[in-house]
Amino acid sequence: MKTLIWSLFGLLALFWSGLCWAGAALLRWAAGLLSGSGGAPDDWGRVLADWPLPQWLALWVDLEALRSLLDLVASMFESLQAVWPGVDSAMAWLMPLLWIVWGAGLLMLLGLAGLALWLTRAARPVPPAQPHPAG
């Protein structure tokens, strides 16, 4: 049972670490897009408006609805660029906060593994007492 508990802990810890690593990469990517330092174009509306939609896509999706969705995404990025000019300074505290959350999650997983080990040890049946030989 110990092996199962520690294997499950290792698997969950690996999944949690990968999720936090992907979150950090996504946060860096989004910060690069919003600050304009990631090689992203400054005029998202123009880029998305000039992006040609393939004609075969019309079989599954309404092209006008997709175009309006792209316009919405472009205006969202432009609004975020205007509202949040200090995204680079926010990264100074967002990245450490993400890794603090990672550490807290890992400690919680470790605590749950310890609790599971304790519960399996406590749930073992107690052998019956042997009667003393008369003599």
CA–CA separation, 7 and 108 (whole Å): 16
Three-state DSSP at 73 gives helix
Reading the chain (135 residues) residue by residue, the pLDDT tens digits are 889 999 999 999 999 999 999 988 888 877 776 665 555 555 666 666 677 777 777 778 887 888 788 778 777 777 776 666 666 677 778 889 999 999 999 999 999 999 999 999 887 776 777 777 765
Name which of 71, 77, 70, 68 is nearest 30 in CA terms.
77
pTM: 0.59
CA 30 to chain centre: 14
Name the DSSP letter for residue 124.
S
Give residue for tokens 């009667």: 131
CB 31 within 8 A of CB 87: yes
